[in-house]
Structure 1
Amino acid sequence: MSRVDKIVQNVSGLLSAGAYKAGERLPSVRQAAREHGVSKNTMADAYDRLVAQGLLEARAGSGYYVAQFQIVRPAPQAPHVAAAVDIVSLLREQLDQHYEVRPGDGRPPAFWTEGSELKRFFSGFKTAEPASVDFGYGSSWGYAPLRERLRMLLLERSISVPPDGLLLTHGVNHGLDLIIRHLIEPGDTVFVDDPGYYPLFGKLTLAKAHMVGIRRGPDGPDLEDLAAKLAVHRPKVFFTQSHAHNPTGGTLSPAVAFGLMQLAERSGFLIVENDALADIVPATLPRLAALDQLNRVLYVGTFSKTLSASLRCGFVAGHPSIVGALSNLKMLTMVATSDYVERFVFNLIQGGQYLRHLRRLKARVEEAHKASGAQLEAAGLKVRQSVTPGFYLWAEFPGDVDELELCRRAAERSIFLAPGSVFSPDRGVRGPAAIRVNVAYGTNPAFIDFLREQIR
């Protein structure tokens, strides 16, 4: 610590302990400098930092005084806000990084992504020559060359997007947030995958929507369950994930995709198709957006899962009438996304680094997916089979297991688990005890040994 840091720490500690009363004058700069054995400039710098922190008040010609600060106690949260925060408690654990072994994580380790082509590219990247850099906000639609490149990439998935039908976002979660703000009113019924993407449940809870879970099978939403729920409910939107499904790892089959679109057309609901891991699964897999050509489907994607969690860059593709409204909403709530991040991603794609990176990432995922499934089954769990390798496996426990108690025991060994109940929109309804396993950590010896012990 510098001398200034030490003085600031010392004085702020005295203030917190009540050594000075509010409004009391502190020793002059000259006197305090002598007491701390530093120069007057150093002492004045320390006092100025304390002023900047709101702990002191500078009065011209008089000196420094204790500010009238007090601890602000947070107001109680509204019930729907408290419920939403409780739903995403797993996300908080992922972000805080307390655990040594992390099979419950939502994304692969950094060395799978940032440590390959990207690390070299990060160090030498420049957005443009200084004279050509635009230091303004940029368009609310996002960086135009990247939007055009994405339109070309989506054609490989048989999705034709008009020029005004694609909006860049801060990843999938931002796209989902904009869609919910635009389409969902309090009390609206929405369908979601069950099990499904739990951060979405938190957003819908904040929006005061009525969530109804549609049973998720190995090849997509269960059409019989969907038809039965449609006989009772009139959903405005069905939020679903097509491939490398989070959390089950399942893949949408052509038959289920076709049946789902028929039911949507007949019942009049919109579909939001989350395809966050599209870049590591085959482009030829069936997409709802390809069947529908963005008539009643909004298609959401991201680079954050396959590049870096810190590179918040994604998109929403859909009918221009809806995407235009989302662009206006984005402009009102945050003006624009980061032009620098979007240029960075565009240059990675154009330079071929992203393609080379994806080749390595796919190979790692395929190997880890196979090895993790084998280890989990050998430990005694029932692993849901998935046709296409992805980041996740869904593993069920035999017999009667308390998921939360299991997670508590794992935490005592610094193992982070993602319990199956978190991924259900109705956490009061219990199915077989299960966990979502990130394949990057599925063969960790400490994790596998723990599972064997618990099952025994």
Structure 2
Amino acid sequence: MSKVNNIVEHMLLAIQNGNLKSGQKLMSIRVAREHFNVSKNTMIDVYDRLVSLGHITARPGSGYYVSTLSKKQNRSSTTHIAEAVDAISLLREQLNQTYRVRVGDGRPPSSWMSQFDFDMRLKIPSDSKYGYGHPMGFEPLREAIAQNLIERSIQASADQVLLTYGANHAMDLIIKQFLSPGDTVLVDSPGYYPLFAKLKLYKIKMIGVRRGGTGPDTEDLEDKARVHRAKLFFTQTLGHNPTGGCATLAAQYQVLKLAEKYDFRVVENDAFADLLPPGIPRMAGLDQLDRVLYIGTFSKTLSASFRVGYVAGRQALIDSLCNIKMLTVVTSSDYLERWLYSLIANGQYLKHLRRLRPMVEQASALALNNFSSLGFHVPYQSEGTYYMWLELPNHLDDIEVARKAAEEGIFLAPGTVFYPEKKSSQKPALRINVAYANDPDFLTFLRKLRAGAVGNE
């Protein structure tokens, strides 16, 4: 997080908690920059950001003051930001490189990727070097993606594919297109926590739908769709994050029937599509992009810093999403899209996938064996994904277990953060990245956890 964002977050929480009171004068730019040990320009950016958010006001010749709102109003206006910040705490930890063992990471280790020697050199026509690129994204790459979708039984043309800065950017565009503050959506529970943070930031009401071994609990989905009249259902059919499970064909059909009955759209995130067989059923294939918006990404299989993804849907909807993309980021990276297309066209990407898939399979099989031998249960079959859901003994608090692990240099992802709401009925668990699951230090930690040497001490 940037210095500006850090200080803005700090001051918002101070306003929310009442440490900075309504009408109170703030430190001058000079004093504040010394207090926070930042540059003058950074502090100006902080105050400008807070003014634009409506939390402070600038009085010429006098200084900056906390806006004269009641404490209740201040709390209401900042709560959604504080909740969003809390929801991305795990993401911040993932970006922290100080942990020795990163079992809770969402990404594979660099060692899994660095052995693949991608040629970053790319010849770009001189008339394209300094342009923005097409707002829909590099057309040959969109055509290649459309061909991949056809192999997944999803009939789509290049005009139905919008390139984005990864899956999260695609979700952001969809939220902007379909939702307004106060609207209701359905989400997997447990599910994709960065999405929860986005929805909280936009003041969208989330209703969790129980996720089980066969996919979304369709009885729970119907109950909640009937009551809440949600506009969207965000779900991950295959290689589910965090459980690693895949929805059955029957569950997918039932979700689509309910989407039609209760008039909501399905946003299907298929982040691990390239690690899975193309013939596995997907809702976008069953529905042919009628009520389904289909999201894919290359960040999971190439690099977390390689932000190229896409969203596919009906052409009219994709055109609308493209308009929002142009208004917010103008266009995505033409250079990265051309480079990715070159990897696909010359066969390097396919070669990479053929090496990566068995690495995931072998690590998963070994982890299952190790967990079983230690007396731990993995309730869902993991396929074509980096993730497993490791259940903990009922008396443990998964947040506390993660804290204890951090003291030993082990980063864990507690199951609690993957739920849109905290409930006492939730069984404690950890999301496990199979790439790190067999680390001897982590297995030793689990052994001590089972023996009662760590946990609720």
Determine the C-alpha separation between the residues in 2 that align with 1:401 and 1:54. 45
Q: Which amino acid aligns with 1:137?
A: Y
User: Is it true that 1:304 corresponds to 2:304 in the alignment?
Assistant: no
TM-superposition CA deviations, 1:162-210 (whole Å, max 9, x none) = 3421100000000000000111111111000000000000011111111
Return the offset for 1:371.
0.6
Moved more, 167-176 or 387-396: 387-396
Correspondence for 2:83? 83
Moved more, 349-358 or 389-398: 389-398
The question of whether the paired residues in 1 share the 8 Å contact of 2:243 and 2:387 is answered with: yes
TM-score w.r.t. structure 2 length? 0.82
Correspondence for 2:195? 200
What does residue range 207-218 of structure 1 map to in structure 2 within 5 Å?
Answer: 207-218=202-213
Determine the C-alpha separation between the residues in 2 that align with 1:346 and 1:353. 10
The question of whether the paired residues in 2 share the 8 Å contact of 1:127 and 1:344 is answered with: no
What does residue range 279-294 of structure 1 map to in structure 2 within 5 Å?
Answer: 279-294=274-289
SS of residue in 2 equivalent to 1:261: helix
Return the offset for 1:230.
2.3
Return the offset for 1:394.
0.1
Correspondence for 2:104? 104
Correspondence for 2:438? 443
The question of whether the paired residues in 1 share the 8 Å contact of 2:215 and 2:248 is answered with: yes
The question of whether the paired residues in 2 share the 8 Å contact of 1:380 and 1:397 is answered with: no
Return the offset for 1:229.
1.6
SS of residue in 1 equivalent to 2:159: coil
SS of residue in 2 equivalent to 1:127: coil
Larger Rg over CA atoms: 1
Correspondence for 1:355? 350
What does residue range 110-189 of structure 1 map to in structure 2 within 5 Å?
Answer: 110-113=110-113, 115-117=114-116, 119-122=117-120, 125-128=121-124, 131-189=126-184
Determine the C-alpha separation between the residues in 2 that align with 1:199 and 1:151. 27
User: Is it true that 1:432 corresponds to 2:421 in the alignment?
Assistant: no
Q: Which amino acid aligns with 1:87?
A: A
Correspondence for 2:415? 420
What does residue range 255-274 of structure 1 map to in structure 2 within 5 Å?
Answer: 255-274=250-269
CA 1:70–1:166 in 2, change beyond 3 Å: closer, same or farther?
closer
The question of whether the paired residues in 2 share the 8 Å contact of 1:116 and 1:357 is answered with: no
Determine the C-alpha separation between the residues in 2 that align with 1:306 and 1:153. 15
Q: Which 4+ residue blocks in structure 1 deviate beyond 4 angstroms?
A: 69-77
What does residue range 205-354 of structure 1 map to in structure 2 within 5 Å?
Answer: 205-354=200-349
SS of residue in 1 equivalent to 2:105: coil
Return the offset for 1:399.
2.9
The question of whether the paired residues in 1 share the 8 Å contact of 2:412 and 2:430 is answered with: yes
Correspondence for 1:410? 405
Determine the C-alpha separation between the residues in 2 that align with 1:196 and 1:409. 24
Q: Which amino acid aligns with 2:111?
A: F
TM-superposition CA deviations, 1:392-434 (whole Å, max 9, x none) = 0001112310112111110100100000000000024451110
Return the offset for 1:116.
3.1
TM-superposition CA deviations, 1:339-385 (whole Å, max 9, x none) = 00000100000000000000110010000011111112222221123
Q: Which amino acid aligns with 1:116?
A: Q
Determine the C-alpha separation between the residues in 1 that align with 2:136 and 2:187. 28
Aligned with 1:384 (options 379, 385, 390): 379
TM-superposition CA deviations, 1:262-291 (whole Å, max 9, x none) = 111111100000000000011111110001
Determine the C-alpha separation between the residues in 2 that align with 1:430 and 1:416. 25
> How many residue pairs get matched?
388
Q: Which amino acid aligns with 1:331?
A: M
SS of residue in 1 equivalent to 2:119: helix
Determine the C-alpha separation between the residues in 2 that align with 1:427 and 1:132. 54
Determine the C-alpha separation between the residues in 2 that align with 1:215 and 1:355. 35
Moved more, 258-267 or 328-337: 258-267
TM-superposition CA deviations, 1:115-174 (whole Å, max 9, x none) = 133x3423xx21325x35431111110001101111111100000113421100000000
- Percent identity of equivalent pairs: 49
TM-score w.r.t. structure 1 length? 0.82
SS of residue in 2 equivalent to 1:300: strand
Determine the C-alpha separation between the residues in 2 that align with 1:179 and 1:367. 36
The question of whether the paired residues in 2 share the 8 Å contact of 1:289 and 1:298 is answered with: yes
SS of residue in 1 equivalent to 2:227: coil
Determine the C-alpha separation between the residues in 2 that align with 1:422 and 1:92. 13
Structure 1 unpaired stretches of 5+: 1-21, 23-52, 56-66
Structure 2 unpaired stretches of 5+: 1-29, 31-37, 56-76, 452-457
Determine the C-alpha separation between the residues in 2 that align with 1:87 and 1:420. 12
CA 1:341–1:71 in 2, change beyond 3 Å: closer, same or farther?
closer
